[in-house]
């Protein structure tokens, strides 16, 4: 990648990018963008650079990675749109004949990705020169006449392989953890796009508010923030008002009063100390068996737990298990995603339950009487769980750590379990729940059925020695004529 014009000139030229990050409040972002693109700073700019990066000197070469840990309302999306525009329109790239370069904007979901694209489109349209480069625009792509496209996609590593990337911009990467795949979804996403940058030498840019102390954002911050970091990986950290002085201090103060831990992350750009991962991906994966679903067997006693839903928001889930000695086997799971008819789902679930000879399910107290009544009509009793969801997850953890539970093959289940978070409230009490933008309906059903199976007494194992002892304790006159049944 070779700039056709310095980014400093472009940022101050009203015919290029000077209308977008104009004014004093955008000065910190201009400093970081200039430094990240390898250009020198003035002495006054270097003071701001040191404050935000912990480094005395700018890199003086285009960095391979630029990571910005910024509080909410700090202008991340607009600044990243300007950087995307500069790379797409004002830089030359090593592309073979017929190859189209892509500036990729990744966001936690498609809705947020479209917002990022709209910022990029607005940046082009505010420039009388750059807007002439627009060839076509649709819901997820801005095509330029110079053979480059700006594309937005949701954070899903399965959909990012293939294109030649001239830059990848990851928006809100701290919130990429997805129950669709594994707890390391953010790692897999970046692993999927890095090869696309290999031939062009384009930068990887991550801009996000912080969250828990895990994931690619925290790893980059821990390894490279400050003077000892990799000189080609630039990490900046700043509170919302460091990047946006126009944000009222009173807004921040009130947020801190309401929830200091959450507001420290949201507005002060501090990684949260009150949140930690519930269980690692490796531990959960070690508990996954060879089956997707096991057929019901005679003389087995099965247990079932449901997590009901009204059909418009959350999934309706079911899990069935049995105890085998000291192990808990999760035989079958079901998940129906909305929209759906609850009565139709209960019809289907009842058929499955009866095939396992289950005449009673346990579930939460969701929606009052409706799931209980519908199950009763189909000959299935419904009992409300005595334990809340958080306690079920808590009691599941020892089974996972000890490898005493066998889970079915399900990426979604593994992702939901590894995406759970343990949070410490002000009172000091722990709770376990899913992270932002994630779900735990399937994990909840599995935790519930595991708890039911665990509560069942272990089956008596009768060995030859046990039979011999029992036989020896019978009266001598009856030893030859009495048979013992177990």
Q: Taking 80 as the threshold, does the pLDDT of residue 311 lie above it?
A: no
- Cα 468 to the chain's mean position, in Å? 57
Rounded-to-integer distance, Cα 129 and Cα 126, Å: 9
Q: Which pLDDT value is given to residue 428?
A: 57
> Cα separations (Å) of 260 from 61, 286, 456?
39, 37, 43
Q: Which pLDDT value is given to residue 159?
A: 63
User: Cβ of 429: how many Cβ atoms within 10 Å?
Assistant: 9
Q: Taking 80 as the threshold, does the pLDDT of residue 101 lie above it?
A: yes
Residue 449's nearest CA partner among 348, 352, 378, 312 is 352
Q: Which pLDDT value is given to residue 344?
A: 93
**What mean pLDDT is predicted for residues 9-27?**
93
Is there a contact between 265 and 213 (Cβ–Cβ < 8 Å)? no
Q: How confident is the model at residue 181 (pLDDT cuts 50, 70, 90)?
A: very low
Q: Taking 50 as the threshold, does the pLDDT of residue 486 lie above it?
A: no
Angle between helices 389-402 and 441-455 (to 10 degrees): 70
Q: Taking 90 as the threshold, does the pLDDT of residue 382 lie above it?
A: yes
Question: For the segment 220-274, what is each residue's pLDDT rounded down to a tens digit?
Answer: 999 999 999 999 999 999 999 999 999 999 999 999 999 888 899 999 999 987 7
Q: Which pLDDT value is given to residue 425?
A: 64
Is there a contact between 7 and 79 (Cβ–Cβ < 8 Å)? no
Contacts for 301 with CB less than 8 Å, ≥ 6 apart: 322, 323, 456
Q: Which pLDDT value is given to residue 273?
A: 79
Question: For the segment 453-475, what is each residue's pLDDT rounded down to a tens digit?
Answer: 998 776 544 445 544 554 555 45
Question: For the segment 273-304, what is each residue's pLDDT rounded down to a tens digit?
Answer: 777 778 888 899 999 999 999 999 998 999 99
Question: For the segment 29-83, what is each residue's pLDDT rounded down to a tens digit?
Answer: 999 999 999 999 999 999 999 999 999 999 999 999 999 999 999 999 899 999 9
Q: Taking 70 as the threshold, does the pLDDT of residue 478 lie above it?
A: no
Query: What average pLDDT does the chain have?
Result: 86
Phi-psi region of 482 (alpha: psi -120 to 50; beta: other; left: phi over 0): beta
Q: Which pLDDT value is given to residue 477?
A: 42
> Cα separations (Å) of 51 from 5, 7, 44?
27, 21, 11
Q: Which two tokens stand for residue 343?
A: 């009565």
**What mean pLDDT is predicted for residues 378-397?**
93
Q: Which domains are delineated in the chain?
A: 2-273 (3.40.50.300), 281-455 (3.30.420.240)
Q: Which two tokens stand for residue 130?
A: 């750059």
Q: Which pLDDT value is given to residue 300?
A: 93
Q: How confident is the model at residue 180 (pLDDT cuts 50, 70, 90)?
A: very low
Q: How confident is the model at residue 427 (pLDDT cuts 50, 70, 90)?
A: low
Burial group, residue 251, by CB count within 10 angstroms (0-12, 13-18, 19+): middle
Percent with pLDDT over 70 in the chain = 88
């Amino acid at each position: 990648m070779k700039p056709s014009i310095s980014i400093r000139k472009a940022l101050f030229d009203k015919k290029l990018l000077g209308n977008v990050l104009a004014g004093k409040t955008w000065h910190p972002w201009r400093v970081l963008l200039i430094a990240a693109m390898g250009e020198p700073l003035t002495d006054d700019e270097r003071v701001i650079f040191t404050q935000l990066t912990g480094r005395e000197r700018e890199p003086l070469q285009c960095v391979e990675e630029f990571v910005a840990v910024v509080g909410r309302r700090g202008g991340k999306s607009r600044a990243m749109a300007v950087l995307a525009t500069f790379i797409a329109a004002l830089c030359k790239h090593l592309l073979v004949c017929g190859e189209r370069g892509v500036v990729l904007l990744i966001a936690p979901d498609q809705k947020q990705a479209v917002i990022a694209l709209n910022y990029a489109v607005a940046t082009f349209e505010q420039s009388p020169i750059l807007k002439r480069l627009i060839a076509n625009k649709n819901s997820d792509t801005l095509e330029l006449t110079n053979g480059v496209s700006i594309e937005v996609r949701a954070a899903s590593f399965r959909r990012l392989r293939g294109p030649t990337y001239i830059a990848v911009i990851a928006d809100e990467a701290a919130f990429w953890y997805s129950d669709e795949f594994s707890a390391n979804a953010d790692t897999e996403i970046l692993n999927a796009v890095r090869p696309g940058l290999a031939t062009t030498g384009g930068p990887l840019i991550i801009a996000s508010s912080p969250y828990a102390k895990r994931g690619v954002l925290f790893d980059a911050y821990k390894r490279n923030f400050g003077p000892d970091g990799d000189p080609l990986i630039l990490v900046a950290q700043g509170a919302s008002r460091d990047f946006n002085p126009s944000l009222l201090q009173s807004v921040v103060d009130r947020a801190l009063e309401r929830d200091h831990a959450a507001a420290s992350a949201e507005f002060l750009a501090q990684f949260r100390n009150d949140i930690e991962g519930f269980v690692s991906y490796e531990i959960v994966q070690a508990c996954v068996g060879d089956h997707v679903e096991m057929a019901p067997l005679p003389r087995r006693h099965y247990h079932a737990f449901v997590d009901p839903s009204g059909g418009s928001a959350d999934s309706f889930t079911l899990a069935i298990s049995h105890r085998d000695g000291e192990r808990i086997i999760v035989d079958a799971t079901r998940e129906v995603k909305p929209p759906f008819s609850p009565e139709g789902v209960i019809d289907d679930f009842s058929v499955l339950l009866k095939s396992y000879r289950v005449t009673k399910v346990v579930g939460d107290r969701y929606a009052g009487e409706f799931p209980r009544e519908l199950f009763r009509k189909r000959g299935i009793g419904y009992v409300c769980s005595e334990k809340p969801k958080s306690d079920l997850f808590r009691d599941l953890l020892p089974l996972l750590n000890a490898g005493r539970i066998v889970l079915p093959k399900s990426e979604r289940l593994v992702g939901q379990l590894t995406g759970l978070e343990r949070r410490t409230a002000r009172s000091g009490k722990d709770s376990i729940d899913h992270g932002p933008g994630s779900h735990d309906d399937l994990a909840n059903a599995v935790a519930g059925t595991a708890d039911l199976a665990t509560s069942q007494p272990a089956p008596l194992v009768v060995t030859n020695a046990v039979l011999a002892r029992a036989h020896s304790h019978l009266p001598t006159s009856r030893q030859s004529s009495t048979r013992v049944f177990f």
